[in-house]
Amino acid sequence: MASTSTSSVQKRFKYDVFISFRGEDTRNTFVGHLYNALKQKGFVTYMDDKKIEKGETIRNQLMKSIEESRFFIIVFSKRYASSSWCLDELVKIMECQSNPEQTAFPVFYDVEPTEVRKQSHAFGEAFKEHENKEAAAAKKWREALKEAANLAGWELKTAANGNESKLIEEVVADISKKLSSVSSSVDRKLVGMEMRIKELLLSLEIGTGDVRMIGIKGMGGGGKTTLATAIFNQISDQFEGSSFVENVREVSKNSGSGLKELQKQILTDIFGDKDITVSSVSGGINKMVQMMPRKKVLVILDDVNDTKQLDALAGASNWFKPGSRIIITTRDEQVLLAHRVNFNHNFIHEVNLLSPEESISLFSRYAFGVENPVEGYEHLSRKVVQYAAGLPLTIKVLGSLLCFQEKPQWNDALERLKTIPLNETMMILELSYNSLEEDCKDIFLDVACLLKGWYKQDAIRALESCGFRAIYGLRVLEQKSLITISKYGVLGMHDHIEEMGKNIVRRSHPKEPHKHSRLWIDEEIESILAEDLDTQAIKCLKLDADGFSYENLLKGLANMRELRFLDLRTTRVSIDDCYYSNRKFDRISLYLPSCLKKKKTQILSNSLRFLRWEGCPFSSLQKAFQANNLVGLEMADSNIVQLCDDGRQKAFLNLRFLKFRDSKLRTLDLGLVQNLEMLHLFECEELEELYMPAECLKLRSLTHLKLRTLHLGSARNLETLRVINCTDMVELQIPDKCPNLVNLDLDLLKLKTLHLGSARNLETLRVINCTDMVELQIPDKCPNLVNLDLDLLKLKTLHLGSARNLETLRVINCTDMVELQIPDKCPNLVNLDLDLLKLKTLHLGSARNLETLRVINCTDMVELQIPDKCPNLVNLDLDLLKLKTLHLRITPNPETPILTDCQELVKHQMPIENVKLLSLDIGNLWLTKLHTGIAPNLESLILRHCCELEEEIHIPSGSLKLKHVDLSFSKLKTLHLGSALNIETLRLDCVDMIKLQMPAEFPKLKNLDLNNLKLTTFHLGITPNLETLRLNKCTDMVKLKIPDECPKLVTLDLSYLRLTNLHLGVTPNLEKLKVNHCTCMVELQIPAECPKLVNLDLNNNAKLRTLNLGLTPHVERLNLENCCDLKEIDAPVGCMKKVVYLNLNGSGRFKSFKFDKEFDSPEVVLLSELHLIAVNWPEFQFSCYYKEDPASSFGNLERLILLGRKDACINLNLFSDIICGLQNLRKLTIERDIPGAPKGLDKLEFLEELRFADIQTLPNNIFRLKHLKSLKIDVSRNWHLKKLPGDIGRLKCLEELSLECREIKTLPGSICKLKHLKSLQIACCDSLEKLPEGIGRLQCLLRLVLEKCELLRGIPNSICKIKSLRYLSLAHCSSVEKLPDNIGLLECLKELDITGTRITRFPHSIFQMNLGVTTSWGIRYQFPKKVEDGVRDDDDVKDVDEHVNGNGDRRMLIMIVMTIILLMTMRMLTVKIRRMLMVMIRRMLMVMMRKMWMWILNMITNI
């Protein structure tokens, strides 16, 4: 069941304040006045002022009251300690003080804190009596007094100079702030509220002297009241009076008494006088005008919906005292605008709905009482949140509804919501609908049921077609938060508002959808059409009829006589489909009922005003209906070839909007649509003819044509012409007189020339991607041309004639253009963008109002002439030009100039005074000097790759706003930052810089990055806000002084410095510390704990000696590579529990040690693995490879680090303690110079795999490893290990045993007791002569490998009892001469390797086996061999013998050749390697002699 938990819900307290005091001292004086002051402030305060006999019941009651209080005020007076009752109270208060939600404050009334702390004077005398009577309790009392005296509080003598009333005011004010802070912290726990509060506080700007009205708008239930309440709780104490007026809409419905009551409430709340009377609304206004200026107030008016309410409650700013704030919440933005609440100054805030994450959190609080859904309810919770769509009201209602409900109830509730909306939400939302006028209600219902998701302009045309004032109506809906319009112009509506609108349409006839005014559900419509119900009430229809019966569809549409709006989608039927299916859509009568055939009824009503039909099957529209009243027509993916086929000229007299997309349209006669205003033809690729008669006078917009030629005839009223993606169009003829043409947009045409005739009123001309265009002729007089955009043309010249009102000129990618002539007088030119032109010069004439100038990639430009005075030039971007000089002295207002890659620019003059300069970005220039002038508003200074810049740059003394400085890759030697105290980011990379002068205080510096400087010392000064400090490759730096406190420092990166020590100071927020290649550094001091440090990188600090990890408990990545002198790493237990990466390569005793939990350990589950290589005993050096489960931490790293300490003597005992103390170790490998195995291996209870290499002795207690499955012993490099423990057979779980031990002569018999052994591998056991006779008892053995056991002469016959054996190898066991006769009993044996043995004959039983035999040179011999008559003769055996002996001869020859080569190269090798080779050759010669002797004997025998 979805249960509720209170673990994450903040505790609710009964009392705000509990006062502890000695009644006889202060009840009627200080405490009495304090109690009244707290009570007047509205705080619930507990004070025990009843003189009654103290009994046990009262004591319990008092202790409970202490537990139920948030704050405690302890008034210490002279006789406080004489009361055991007070002291018991104090002990209880100190217990509660440990709770973060409860806080105690002492008030030292007529005593000093030291008297209380040390129990001296009156307190000391009181304790003498207590210790005689209650010695045990006295100890607790003393501790409580000492703890309380150390708390922050107030002392009457010092805090208020003995003035009790002032002290009371101070105490009440502080408690008020604390409670406000607590309240605001609770509000911040309201999901998603913290960021919204911050944004609103920015607009409120509390403390400024103006009167400010702030609006909060949004849909019903969206959180407006919650946000206003949170703000009120947080800031109301900062005003002299405050009032929160709820439900203004509801209360003011009674136009007389309602507003009067609200006026009275405001005055009463602020002035505290309940006797204030308001006789009338106008009288209330007069009183408010008279009284409100007396106090700085905070007033919140919640849910306002009429300007009359604001006129009565907050009529004007002059009603209020300066500094006052009025917050208004409403659903209707127009109310705020009409009351002059300023939108431009961000004084109107839109309440955003909750994100999915916030919604889940809020729902979980109401449904479960915790932050996240309880286990098993995650998916259901997501479904609920998806339905709520971020609306807080719905989330809260559903959370409360589903609390403590089982899953079946949840599923049932969710299914119900699909058809029945949540009534509580609908009632709130419908208030906005009810306030609309009738025509706006119809528009709202059309949007909710039909138009949601449409582009705004398309929706306007559809609504205007139906007779509505759509622009006005949609604006009203938007202001009332009923619809939204995205930045792309798409109509949006919250799911619940949409649901509310649809519910309004349905609720009059919930069971009879055919009586609804609007239909949009396909299933309902299909049912209505199939049942032939009465459809006279239907006015609007939206239907996806894919798969519907055409007969039912056309018949049903014919009956809808009042239909005004139809949005229909049918499956497009091609001409071929019509032919094969015998459907003749042009013969409509085939699909109409007989009664309609007689009347010759059309399939669509003549009342239809807007039709959008996708997939229309008819060849002409007149086949469907008369269309006398049709205003808007949109056809997509249709078979329509022409509008009419009978030549009637007055069929579409009212048609204003016509759109065809992806249709079969071949001809279009605009003479049939003489009132047409907008024609949109898109992807009508079969259009061959567009007839435009002289009568087509109202056509204003013509877009997206697909023709080879276009003659616009006498369309003199044409306002907008868009021809896009007509890749075949080679001719465009614009009327000689086209006075109304305002917008011309041509894209992807094949035009070569364009003559605009006399289109003198053209305002916007856009010609792009017409890559064949070589000539563009703009009218001589084009006074209204405002925007000109040319892209990817082949123009060589452009003369703009007298386009003196041009505001924006954009010419890009016209790579042949060598001349651009801008009018001499171009006063309105604001934006100029030139890119990839071949211009050499550019004269901007008198374009004095230019604001943005962007000239880039004009690689031939050598001259740029900016007007003499260009005061408005704000944005300047010059890139890849050949300019040599640039004069900006007469452009005093550039804000963001960018000059990059103008490599020939050697002189750049800035204005003497740059008042508006905000950002200066100069890069890759050859300037030798630069003067920024006076730039008081400069915020960003970036000079990069100015390699010749040598002269010192003086930061202007008045640059108080300078925040970002980047002077990288220049030749500056000195830099004086002057009084630029507000710099936030400073980056320098100057290899010649020897002096950097910074202010003593850098209060706002956040990021400091210094690279390749020649500074020897660096004192950072006071930088309380520093977050990132990087000093890299300042190789001369020997001293670095960091402030004692860097509370916000997050990243510290120091590399290649000559520091000998580093003192970090107090850095509580440090997350990343990187100190690399500081080869002189001996000491790193971390004086205080760094609880947030997660990345510590100290690699290549060769002289670093000690490191304390106890102060970095949360470190995750630690790199100490090549810290060669590191002798001591202090790593307390638990300090490395979060480490995921550790690199100790070359540090201390570690030759290598790299631990990477993220990449190396994903296959390790729940346990850990260790591979340790030790050399040079007893001066150990270790190579360590450690892995562990990524999701666990066993504390093993702290132990392993001890192995690397150079200051510790590593003996076998210490080594054993470290290894055997590792937790959850599953796999252990120890190699090289360890004299013996670690003692206490049996402590590794989880060990499953154990491998020893070159170890001298094995522990006798190895049999105690109960979970050991694999044991590998390799001592082939030394001769010390001579026997295995006799009780090795007690390893009951052992499955794999591998031995490489030269001195072992025999194996213990107990090895035959390993019942689960699956693999036994014995290799290089030169002294082993025989195997235990009982080896046949290993019934689970699958693999038996005996290799290079040269003295082994045979294998026991009992091996033939191992039925499970699959693989047997005797490779290079040169003394083995034969196989057991009964080897054929090994039925499972599949592979046999006898390479390098003396086996010359096979037993007959082997020929019955399905077996592969590998002999010398790796040649395989496969059994069984075909036997004729079932008998195998000796020739078969002889073939095998010859094969085996032949391979032996070849092997002997190879060994001889190898020996000769080794002897020849001996002189070229070092002494050490030579000795090793001599040992190998000696052994080889012994083997060769033995082989040679056997070979001679075989030759003699054969002869």
Q: What token pair was written down for 702?
A: 């013509």
8 A C-beta contact, residue 697 and residue 670:
no
* Per-residue CA distances from 1381 to 1334, 1357, 1404, 1405 (Å): 17, 8, 7, 7
1295 near 1319, Cβ under 8 Å? yes
Quick count: other Cβ atoms within 10 Å of Cβ 1150?
25
Q: What are phi and psi of 1288, to 5 degrees?
A: -60, -25
Residue 1461 CB partners (closer than 8 Å, separation 6+): none
The answer to whether the CB of 1110 falls within 8 A of the CB of 1083 is no
Q: Which string of b and e fits 519-553 if b means at least 16 CB within 10 Å?
A: bbebeebbebbeeeeebebbbbbbbbbeebebebb
**How far is it, in rounded angstroms, from Cα 913 to Cα 269?**
54
Whether the CB-CB separation of 1306 and 1285 falls below 8 Å is answered with no
Q: What are phi and psi of 757, to 5 degrees?
A: 60, -130
What does the block give as tokens for 353?
Answer: 């709905």
Query: Would residue 438 show up in a list of annotated catalytic residues for this protein?
Result: no
d(CA 444, CA 442): 5
Q: Which two tokens stand for residue 1147?
A: 């540090």
Contact 950, 927 (CB under 8 A): no
Looking at this protein, which amino acid is placed at residue 896? T
3 state SS of 388: helix
Given 89, 358, 499, 1169, the catalytic residue: 89
Report the DSSP pairing between strands 1168-1175 and 1181-1188.
antiparallel
DSSP class of 686: T
Tell me if residue 661 falls in helix, strand or coil: strand
Amino acid at 829: L
Q: Name the one residue in this structure whose structure tokens are 């002269």.
A: 951
Instruction: Specify which residues 298 forms β-bridges with.
Output: 242, 325
Could you give the CA distance from residue 79 to residue 82 in angstroms, rounded to a whole number? 5
Q: Is 1147 exposed, middle or buried (0-12, 13-18, 19+ CB in 10 A)?
A: buried
73 vs 16: CA distance, rounded Å: 11
The amino acid at residue 991 is V
**778 close to 801: Cβ distance less than 8 angstroms:** yes
Asked if residues 660 and 681 have their Cβ atoms less than 8 Å apart, the reply is yes
Query: How is residue 933 annotated by DSSP?
Result: -
Residue found under tokens 């990477």: 1156
The counts of H helices and E strands in the chain are 33, 74
Give strand pairing partners of 217.
330, 350
For 1300-1321, give the DSSP string.
EETT-----GGGGG-TT--EEE
Q: Quick one: tokens of 623? A: 């086949």
**Residue 20 exposure: Cα atoms within 13 Å on the Cβ side:** 31
Longest alpha-carbon distance in the chain = 144
Give the list of residues 6+ apart from residue 1205 with CB closer than 8 angstroms, or none: 1127, 1128, 1129, 1148, 1149
Alpha-carbon span 1280 to 1251, nearest angstrom: 17
Kindly provide the residue ranges of all beta strands, DSSP E only, lying in 417-515, ordered along the sequence: 484-485, 491-492
**The two three-digit tokens of residue 1349, written as one number:** 């056991």
Query: Which residues, including other chains, have CB under 8 Å from residue 287's CB and lie 6 or more apart?
Result: 263, 267, 276, 278
The residues carrying an active-site annotation are: 89
